Structure 1
Amino acid sequence: MTATDRNKILSEHPIGTLEAASPDIAEQGCCGMVRSESQHKRGPAMPRDTAERTRLADAMDQRRIELGLRWEHIAEKARISTTHLRKFRRGDAGISSVVEAALEDALQWEHGSMATIRDGGDPTPVAESSRRDPNKTLAEMLLERGLARPEELTAADEIRNDPVAWEILEAEDLTPSGRDRMLKAYAYMRREMFETVRQQKRGPRA
Protein backbone atom coordinates (compact mmCIF):
# COMPACT_ATOMS: atom_id res chain seq x y z
CA MET A 1 0.00 0.00 0.00
CA THR A 2 1.50 3.31 -1.07
CA ALA A 3 1.29 6.65 0.71
CA THR A 4 -1.16 7.70 -2.00
CA ASP A 5 -3.40 4.75 -1.17
CA ARG A 6 -3.30 5.67 2.50
CA ASN A 7 -4.10 9.29 1.78
CA LYS A 8 -7.06 8.15 -0.30
CA ILE A 9 -8.43 5.97 2.51
CA LEU A 10 -8.13 8.78 5.05
CA SER A 11 -9.35 11.58 2.80
CA GLU A 12 -12.46 9.71 1.68
CA HIS A 13 -13.76 9.29 5.20
CA PRO A 14 -14.37 11.94 7.89
CA ILE A 15 -12.19 10.06 10.35
CA GLY A 16 -9.18 11.25 8.40
CA THR A 17 -10.11 14.85 9.10
CA LEU A 18 -11.19 14.30 12.69
CA GLU A 19 -8.10 12.43 13.78
CA ALA A 20 -5.61 14.53 11.85
CA ALA A 21 -5.94 17.06 14.66
CA SER A 22 -5.07 14.55 17.39
CA PRO A 23 -2.29 15.58 19.82
CA ASP A 24 0.10 12.86 18.72
CA ILE A 25 0.09 13.93 15.08
CA ALA A 26 3.30 15.82 15.73
CA GLU A 27 4.97 12.46 16.26
CA GLN A 28 4.05 11.35 12.74
CA GLY A 29 4.38 12.27 9.12
CA CYS A 30 1.80 11.75 6.38
CA CYS A 31 -0.86 9.22 7.37
CA GLY A 32 0.94 8.29 10.58
CA MET A 33 4.19 7.39 8.85
CA VAL A 34 7.17 7.30 11.17
CA ARG A 35 9.54 10.12 10.41
CA SER A 36 13.29 9.74 10.45
CA GLU A 37 15.05 10.20 13.80
CA SER A 38 16.31 13.62 12.74
CA GLN A 39 12.69 14.82 12.62
CA HIS A 40 11.95 13.83 16.23
CA LYS A 41 13.01 15.36 19.49
CA ARG A 42 15.46 12.94 21.02
CA GLY A 43 15.36 11.97 24.64
CA PRO A 44 18.43 12.13 26.88
CA ALA A 45 21.20 9.59 26.45
CA MET A 46 21.72 6.95 29.11
CA PRO A 47 25.05 7.52 30.88
CA ARG A 48 27.64 4.88 30.01
CA ASP A 49 28.38 3.70 33.52
CA THR A 50 24.89 2.79 34.66
CA ALA A 51 23.23 -0.56 35.27
CA GLU A 52 20.17 0.41 33.22
CA ARG A 53 22.25 1.14 30.11
CA THR A 54 24.15 -2.13 30.46
CA ARG A 55 20.94 -4.12 30.98
CA LEU A 56 19.28 -2.61 27.92
CA ALA A 57 22.32 -2.97 25.66
CA ASP A 58 22.81 -6.60 26.71
CA ALA A 59 19.12 -7.43 26.28
CA MET A 60 19.04 -5.85 22.82
CA ASP A 61 22.12 -7.77 21.74
CA GLN A 62 20.77 -11.06 23.09
CA ARG A 63 17.45 -10.53 21.31
CA ARG A 64 19.20 -9.62 18.08
CA ILE A 65 21.13 -12.90 18.20
CA GLU A 66 17.96 -14.88 19.01
CA LEU A 67 16.23 -13.44 15.96
CA GLY A 68 19.28 -13.78 13.71
CA LEU A 69 19.27 -10.07 12.86
CA ARG A 70 22.06 -7.63 12.13
CA TRP A 71 22.24 -4.17 13.67
CA GLU A 72 21.96 -2.70 10.18
CA HIS A 73 18.61 -4.42 9.73
CA ILE A 74 17.32 -3.23 13.10
CA ALA A 75 18.43 0.35 12.42
CA GLU A 76 16.72 0.29 9.04
CA LYS A 77 13.44 -0.84 10.60
CA ALA A 78 13.67 1.92 13.21
CA ARG A 79 14.55 4.47 10.50
CA ILE A 80 17.76 5.61 12.16
CA SER A 81 21.38 5.26 11.15
CA THR A 82 23.51 2.39 12.40
CA THR A 83 25.86 5.01 13.85
CA HIS A 84 23.10 6.55 15.93
CA LEU A 85 21.90 3.12 17.07
CA ARG A 86 25.43 2.24 18.14
CA LYS A 87 25.75 5.54 20.04
CA PHE A 88 22.42 4.90 21.75
CA ARG A 89 23.49 1.45 22.89
CA ARG A 90 26.75 2.86 24.23
CA GLY A 91 25.01 5.66 26.10
CA ASP A 92 26.32 8.43 23.85
CA ALA A 93 22.98 9.45 22.29
CA GLY A 94 19.29 9.43 23.07
CA ILE A 95 16.27 8.51 20.95
CA SER A 96 12.66 9.64 20.72
CA SER A 97 9.76 7.62 22.09
CA VAL A 98 8.65 6.90 18.52
CA VAL A 99 12.03 5.43 17.59
CA GLU A 100 12.09 3.43 20.82
CA ALA A 101 8.75 1.89 19.83
CA ALA A 102 10.14 1.16 16.36
CA LEU A 103 13.17 -0.56 17.90
CA GLU A 104 10.83 -2.69 20.02
CA ASP A 105 8.93 -3.64 16.86
CA ALA A 106 12.19 -4.60 15.14
CA LEU A 107 13.19 -6.74 18.12
CA GLN A 108 9.67 -8.24 18.29
CA TRP A 109 9.08 -6.96 21.81
CA GLU A 110 5.83 -5.58 23.15
CA HIS A 111 5.84 -1.80 23.43
CA GLY A 112 7.14 -0.65 26.80
CA SER A 113 9.64 -3.51 27.04
CA MET A 114 12.68 -1.24 26.86
CA ALA A 115 11.41 0.86 29.76
CA THR A 116 10.78 -2.35 31.69
CA ILE A 117 14.37 -3.48 31.06
CA ARG A 118 15.73 -0.15 32.26
CA ASP A 119 13.69 -0.59 35.45
CA GLY A 120 15.22 -4.02 36.03
CA GLY A 121 12.52 -6.20 34.50
CA ASP A 122 12.39 -8.49 31.50
CA PRO A 123 11.14 -7.64 28.00
CA THR A 124 7.90 -9.17 26.75
CA PRO A 125 8.22 -10.89 23.35
CA VAL A 126 5.38 -10.30 20.93
CA ALA A 127 2.92 -13.15 21.44
CA GLU A 128 2.57 -15.62 18.62
CA SER A 129 -1.19 -15.17 18.78
CA SER A 130 -0.83 -11.50 17.89
CA ARG A 131 0.89 -12.32 14.61
CA ARG A 132 -0.94 -13.01 11.38
CA ASP A 133 -3.86 -15.37 11.86
CA PRO A 134 -5.53 -16.42 8.59
CA ASN A 135 -8.85 -16.94 10.38
CA LYS A 136 -8.97 -13.53 12.04
CA THR A 137 -11.70 -11.20 10.85
CA LEU A 138 -11.53 -7.45 10.45
CA ALA A 139 -14.14 -7.25 13.21
CA GLU A 140 -11.81 -9.07 15.62
CA MET A 141 -8.94 -6.75 14.73
CA LEU A 142 -11.08 -3.72 15.49
CA LEU A 143 -12.36 -5.13 18.79
CA GLU A 144 -8.89 -6.17 19.97
CA ARG A 145 -7.62 -2.62 19.50
CA GLY A 146 -10.64 -0.92 21.01
CA LEU A 147 -11.48 0.69 17.68
CA ALA A 148 -15.10 -0.43 17.62
CA ARG A 149 -17.84 -1.65 19.92
CA PRO A 150 -19.64 -4.93 19.14
CA GLU A 151 -22.86 -3.12 18.25
CA GLU A 152 -21.00 -1.01 15.68
CA LEU A 153 -19.82 -3.98 13.65
CA THR A 154 -21.48 -4.87 10.36
CA ALA A 155 -21.37 -7.71 7.85
CA ALA A 156 -18.63 -5.82 6.03
CA ASP A 157 -16.33 -6.42 9.01
CA GLU A 158 -16.68 -10.20 8.87
CA ILE A 159 -14.11 -10.63 6.11
CA ARG A 160 -11.36 -13.06 7.10
CA ASN A 161 -7.64 -12.68 6.45
CA ASP A 162 -8.11 -9.29 4.75
CA PRO A 163 -4.76 -8.58 3.03
CA VAL A 164 -5.20 -4.81 3.23
CA ALA A 165 -5.94 -4.92 6.96
CA TRP A 166 -2.88 -7.09 7.59
CA GLU A 167 -0.73 -4.78 5.47
CA ILE A 168 -1.85 -1.85 7.61
CA LEU A 169 -1.12 -3.67 10.88
CA GLU A 170 2.30 -4.85 9.69
CA ALA A 171 3.37 -1.54 8.12
CA GLU A 172 6.76 -0.71 9.60
CA ASP A 173 6.56 2.93 8.54
CA LEU A 174 3.44 3.55 10.64
CA THR A 175 3.36 4.20 14.36
CA PRO A 176 0.94 2.10 16.45
CA SER A 177 -1.55 4.98 16.60
CA GLY A 178 -1.09 5.54 12.88
CA ARG A 179 -1.96 1.91 12.21
CA ASP A 180 -5.06 2.21 14.38
CA ARG A 181 -6.26 5.32 12.56
CA MET A 182 -5.63 3.75 9.18
CA LEU A 183 -7.37 0.48 10.13
CA LYS A 184 -10.40 2.34 11.47
CA ALA A 185 -10.63 4.50 8.36
CA TYR A 186 -10.29 1.41 6.15
CA ALA A 187 -13.10 -0.34 8.05
CA TYR A 188 -15.40 2.65 7.57
CA MET A 189 -14.57 2.76 3.87
CA ARG A 190 -15.38 -0.96 3.52
CA ARG A 191 -18.73 -0.47 5.24
CA GLU A 192 -19.65 2.36 2.90
CA MET A 193 -18.69 0.31 -0.16
CA PHE A 194 -20.55 -2.74 1.18
CA GLU A 195 -23.70 -0.70 1.73
CA THR A 196 -23.45 0.89 -1.72
CA VAL A 197 -23.19 -2.51 -3.41
CA ARG A 198 -26.09 -3.85 -1.35
CA GLN A 199 -28.28 -0.92 -2.37
CA GLN A 200 -27.37 -1.42 -6.02
CA LYS A 201 -28.29 -5.10 -5.84
CA ARG A 202 -31.69 -4.22 -4.48
CA GLY A 203 -32.31 -2.12 -7.56
CA PRO A 204 -34.66 0.84 -7.89
CA ARG A 205 -37.82 0.71 -5.85
CA ALA A 206 -41.09 0.37 -7.73
Structure 2
Amino acid sequence: MTLTLGWPMYIAFNNSGRVYDRFTSHYDPNSPIFTEKERLQVQISNAGVLTILYLLYKLAVTKGITWVIRIYLLPLTVMNVFVVLISCLQHTHSSLPYYDSSQWDWLRGNLVTVDRDYGKILNKMLHNITDTHVIHHLFPSMPHYNAAEATRAVKEVLGEYYQFDETPILKAAWREFRECVYVEEDDHEEGDSEAFRSKGVFWFRNKL
Protein backbone atom coordinates (compact mmCIF):
# COMPACT_ATOMS: atom_id res chain seq x y z
CA MET A 1 0.00 0.00 0.00
CA THR A 2 2.79 2.43 0.88
CA LEU A 3 4.76 1.77 -2.29
CA THR A 4 1.83 1.81 -4.73
CA LEU A 5 -0.63 4.32 -3.23
CA GLY A 6 1.72 6.27 -0.96
CA TRP A 7 2.71 8.94 -3.49
CA PRO A 8 -0.80 9.67 -4.88
CA MET A 9 -2.22 9.77 -1.33
CA TYR A 10 0.53 12.17 -0.24
CA ILE A 11 -0.11 14.49 -3.20
CA ALA A 12 -3.90 14.38 -2.89
CA PHE A 13 -4.39 14.27 0.90
CA ASN A 14 -0.94 15.01 2.40
CA ASN A 15 -0.88 11.52 3.97
CA SER A 16 2.32 11.06 6.01
CA GLY A 17 3.19 14.73 5.41
CA ARG A 18 3.53 17.49 7.97
CA VAL A 19 0.40 17.89 10.07
CA TYR A 20 -1.57 21.11 9.60
CA ASP A 21 -4.65 22.39 11.45
CA ARG A 22 -6.80 22.11 8.31
CA PHE A 23 -7.32 19.91 5.26
CA THR A 24 -4.21 19.98 3.10
CA SER A 25 -3.69 18.90 -0.49
CA HIS A 26 -1.02 19.61 -3.08
CA TYR A 27 -3.85 20.26 -5.53
CA ASP A 28 -5.32 23.03 -3.37
CA PRO A 29 -3.56 26.35 -4.13
CA ASN A 30 -4.78 27.72 -0.79
CA SER A 31 -3.17 24.93 1.23
CA PRO A 32 -0.74 26.04 3.96
CA ILE A 33 1.97 24.11 2.09
CA PHE A 34 2.25 26.95 -0.43
CA THR A 35 3.33 30.57 -0.29
CA GLU A 36 1.34 33.34 -1.95
CA LYS A 37 3.64 33.44 -4.98
CA GLU A 38 3.28 29.66 -5.48
CA ARG A 39 -0.52 29.63 -5.66
CA LEU A 40 -0.70 30.58 -9.34
CA GLN A 41 1.83 27.85 -10.15
CA VAL A 42 -0.41 25.30 -8.41
CA GLN A 43 -3.39 26.45 -10.46
CA ILE A 44 -1.37 26.10 -13.69
CA SER A 45 -0.24 22.64 -12.58
CA ASN A 46 -3.85 21.66 -11.86
CA ALA A 47 -4.83 22.78 -15.35
CA GLY A 48 -2.13 20.49 -16.72
CA VAL A 49 -3.38 17.57 -14.63
CA LEU A 50 -6.95 18.09 -15.83
CA THR A 51 -5.75 18.26 -19.43
CA ILE A 52 -3.93 14.94 -19.09
CA LEU A 53 -6.97 13.34 -17.43
CA TYR A 54 -9.12 14.50 -20.33
CA LEU A 55 -6.62 13.08 -22.85
CA LEU A 56 -6.58 9.78 -20.95
CA TYR A 57 -10.38 9.72 -21.07
CA LYS A 58 -10.30 10.25 -24.85
CA LEU A 59 -7.69 7.50 -25.20
CA ALA A 60 -9.84 5.15 -23.11
CA VAL A 61 -12.80 5.84 -25.39
CA THR A 62 -10.67 5.26 -28.50
CA LYS A 63 -8.29 2.49 -27.40
CA GLY A 64 -10.11 0.99 -24.44
CA ILE A 65 -9.55 1.21 -20.70
CA THR A 66 -7.31 -1.89 -20.74
CA TRP A 67 -4.94 -0.19 -23.17
CA VAL A 68 -4.71 2.92 -20.95
CA ILE A 69 -4.04 0.79 -17.87
CA ARG A 70 -1.32 -1.21 -19.64
CA ILE A 71 0.40 1.70 -21.42
CA TYR A 72 -0.04 4.47 -18.83
CA LEU A 73 -1.29 3.39 -15.40
CA LEU A 74 1.02 0.40 -14.84
CA PRO A 75 4.22 2.30 -15.79
CA LEU A 76 3.05 5.21 -13.62
CA THR A 77 2.58 2.81 -10.70
CA VAL A 78 6.10 1.40 -11.18
CA MET A 79 7.47 4.96 -11.15
CA ASN A 80 5.52 5.71 -7.96
CA VAL A 81 7.01 2.59 -6.34
CA PHE A 82 10.51 3.85 -7.08
CA VAL A 83 9.72 7.40 -5.93
CA VAL A 84 8.51 6.17 -2.53
CA LEU A 85 11.11 3.41 -2.12
CA ILE A 86 14.06 5.66 -2.95
CA SER A 87 12.78 8.56 -0.84
CA CYS A 88 12.19 6.28 2.12
CA LEU A 89 15.42 4.29 1.98
CA GLN A 90 17.67 7.30 1.35
CA HIS A 91 16.38 9.00 4.51
CA THR A 92 15.57 6.07 6.78
CA HIS A 93 18.27 4.09 8.58
CA SER A 94 18.83 3.20 12.21
CA SER A 95 22.19 5.01 12.16
CA LEU A 96 20.65 8.33 11.06
CA PRO A 97 19.77 10.85 13.78
CA TYR A 98 17.10 13.49 13.45
CA TYR A 99 17.26 16.90 15.13
CA ASP A 100 14.89 19.44 16.62
CA SER A 101 15.41 23.18 16.12
CA SER A 102 17.89 23.38 19.01
CA GLN A 103 20.31 20.98 17.32
CA TRP A 104 19.57 21.29 13.60
CA ASP A 105 21.82 23.20 11.23
CA TRP A 106 22.23 23.09 7.46
CA LEU A 107 25.11 20.61 7.41
CA ARG A 108 23.64 18.26 9.99
CA GLY A 109 20.28 18.29 8.26
CA ASN A 110 21.74 17.52 4.85
CA LEU A 111 23.86 14.65 6.15
CA VAL A 112 20.78 12.83 7.45
CA THR A 113 20.79 10.57 4.40
CA VAL A 114 22.46 7.37 3.27
CA ASP A 115 23.76 6.15 -0.08
CA ARG A 116 22.57 2.69 -1.14
CA ASP A 117 23.54 0.31 -3.92
CA TYR A 118 20.61 -0.79 -6.10
CA GLY A 119 22.91 -2.70 -8.44
CA LYS A 120 24.69 -1.39 -11.53
CA ILE A 121 21.66 -1.52 -13.82
CA LEU A 122 19.19 0.25 -11.52
CA ASN A 123 21.80 2.76 -10.33
CA LYS A 124 22.37 3.74 -13.95
CA MET A 125 18.67 3.76 -14.88
CA LEU A 126 17.89 5.97 -11.88
CA HIS A 127 20.70 8.43 -12.74
CA ASN A 128 22.64 7.38 -9.62
CA ILE A 129 20.30 9.21 -7.24
CA THR A 130 20.45 5.96 -5.26
CA ASP A 131 24.19 5.66 -4.64
CA THR A 132 25.04 9.40 -4.75
CA HIS A 133 22.24 10.80 -2.62
CA VAL A 134 24.54 12.32 0.01
CA ILE A 135 26.24 14.56 -2.56
CA HIS A 136 22.81 15.46 -3.97
CA HIS A 137 21.86 16.81 -0.52
CA LEU A 138 25.04 18.85 -0.24
CA PHE A 139 24.99 20.16 -3.82
CA PRO A 140 21.40 19.78 -5.12
CA SER A 141 22.04 21.67 -8.37
CA MET A 142 24.91 19.39 -9.41
CA PRO A 143 24.19 17.49 -12.67
CA HIS A 144 23.69 13.78 -12.04
CA TYR A 145 26.52 12.84 -14.41
CA ASN A 146 29.04 14.47 -12.04
CA ALA A 147 27.61 12.92 -8.87
CA ALA A 148 29.62 9.67 -8.85
CA GLU A 149 32.96 11.47 -9.20
CA ALA A 150 31.95 14.07 -6.60
CA THR A 151 30.85 11.32 -4.19
CA ARG A 152 34.29 9.69 -4.37
CA ALA A 153 35.84 13.04 -3.48
CA VAL A 154 33.45 14.00 -0.69
CA LYS A 155 33.82 10.62 1.04
CA GLU A 156 37.43 11.57 1.79
CA VAL A 157 36.30 14.86 3.35
CA LEU A 158 33.35 13.53 5.35
CA GLY A 159 35.06 10.41 6.64
CA GLU A 160 32.85 8.72 9.27
CA TYR A 161 30.05 11.22 8.57
CA TYR A 162 29.51 9.71 5.12
CA GLN A 163 26.83 7.01 5.29
CA PHE A 164 26.66 4.04 2.92
CA ASP A 165 24.67 0.82 3.27
CA GLU A 166 25.34 -2.05 0.85
CA THR A 167 22.47 -4.20 2.15
CA PRO A 168 20.48 -5.63 -0.81
CA ILE A 169 17.55 -3.31 -1.46
CA LEU A 170 14.67 -5.72 -0.84
CA LYS A 171 16.24 -6.85 2.43
CA ALA A 172 16.94 -3.23 3.41
CA ALA A 173 13.35 -2.20 2.63
CA TRP A 174 11.96 -5.05 4.76
CA ARG A 175 14.30 -4.15 7.63
CA GLU A 176 13.75 -0.38 7.53
CA PHE A 177 9.95 -0.59 7.25
CA ARG A 178 9.91 -2.86 10.31
CA GLU A 179 12.64 -1.29 12.46
CA CYS A 180 12.36 2.44 11.68
CA VAL A 181 8.74 3.17 12.53
CA TYR A 182 9.05 6.50 14.37
CA VAL A 183 11.68 8.75 15.97
CA GLU A 184 12.07 9.45 19.68
CA GLU A 185 14.41 11.62 21.68
CA ASP A 186 17.12 9.52 23.26
CA ASP A 187 16.42 8.41 26.82
CA HIS A 188 19.93 9.27 28.03
CA GLU A 189 20.71 5.82 29.35
CA GLU A 190 23.83 5.24 31.42
CA GLY A 191 26.82 4.45 29.25
CA ASP A 192 25.53 6.15 26.10
CA SER A 193 28.12 8.02 24.07
CA GLU A 194 28.11 11.84 24.00
CA ALA A 195 26.39 11.84 20.59
CA PHE A 196 23.49 9.84 22.00
CA ARG A 197 23.20 12.02 25.10
CA SER A 198 22.58 15.25 23.18
CA LYS A 199 19.16 16.68 23.95
CA GLY A 200 17.21 17.41 20.80
CA VAL A 201 18.65 14.42 18.93
CA PHE A 202 16.11 11.77 17.87
CA TRP A 203 16.64 8.15 16.81
CA PHE A 204 14.49 5.61 15.06
CA ARG A 205 12.49 3.17 17.17
CA ASN A 206 10.31 0.22 16.16
CA LYS A 207 7.99 -0.30 19.12
CA LEU A 208 6.56 1.48 22.14
Which TM class, normalised by the smaller chain length?
Answer: under 0.3
Taking structure 1 as the reference length, the TM-score comes to: 0.27
- TM-score between the two structures when normalised by the length of structure 2: 0.27
Greater relative contact order structure (CA < 8 Å, 6+ sep): 1
The structure carrying a bigger helix percent of its residues is: 1
Comparing both structures, which one devotes a greater share of its residues to strand? Answer: 2
